[in-house]
Structure 1
Amino acid sequence: MASSRPARTRVGRYELGRTLGEGTFAKVKFARNVETGENVAIKILDKEKVLKHKMITQIKREISTMKLIRHPNVIRMFEVMASKTKIYIVLEFVTGGKLFDKIAAKGRLKEDEARKYFQQLINAVDYCHSRGVYHRDLKVKGDLVKRVES
């Protein structure tokens, strides 16, 4: 008897799920490692758009920077794959949303909570700076500051 569940798209050992976000050059999708069951986020870049907008140097820089950084408050990159038309960057899957959205929803943070976020932010930025990496885009994972690019 055939399953009524539609076949999921696979990229390497990852089964793609819902779209988490979309930008000009990339789409980020939820995915699951079919071997380990681990949840990840996969940033999918269209090679044609990357080449057309002369973004290849920036993409290479982002990948090499992510390889340098290993810190609990910075999103981890697991691997990079490519097909004829796409580049796939496999990243740690995090929840929690943006700190800005959290502040907007609450109106303001209590001093203890604000101090905790600030300390995590400063720790992540200091770590990156110590490795010659300067931030452009910081995001929050639950109560941790995440994501740093050169």
Structure 2
Amino acid sequence: MKRTLAGLAAIFALVMVAPASAEDVKAGDLVISQTWTRATPNGAKIGGGYLTIENKGSTPDRLVGGSGNVAGKIEVHEMAMDNGVMKMRPLDKGLTIEPGKTVKLAPGGYHLMMFDLKAQLKQGDKVPVTLEFEKAGKVTVSLDVQGVGAQAPGGDDHSGHMDMKKM
């Protein structure tokens, strides 16, 4: 019984920890976390990048672009519904992160669009990209490659929660 309880406690502790992801990265007053991307099929030429940016400062900053060896071009994009039609567009002026606010780049919303991928993004890999901010400058982060259909950094939307009924 003690072994079973110890095993369950160990599993519970592992599941409650946030999914394995890159360390938080600081750039000026910004904290960048939950950096990830989806695996791509062989031959795919585009991919998306997702992350969370928190502005701990007193002035706004703006994500204006990105770069990296993984792609020919990286842009900041937005997906939004327009009269029942999902539309995607580049944010030519960048994405503002207001002071004291957090902006999440996620599937179906703001995201990094990586064009002309140089190689397949494979689950389990880490992809370095450099983000460019108006005030904080350039900062390199590592995107954790999740599964093809992932919706969140851990590959699901459960955020580390465990269903005890399934044990």
- TM-score, normalization: structure 2? 0.29
Whose strand fraction is larger, Structure 1's or Structure 2's?
A: 2
Bigger relative contact order, structure 1 or 2 (CA pairs below 8 A, ≥6 apart): 2
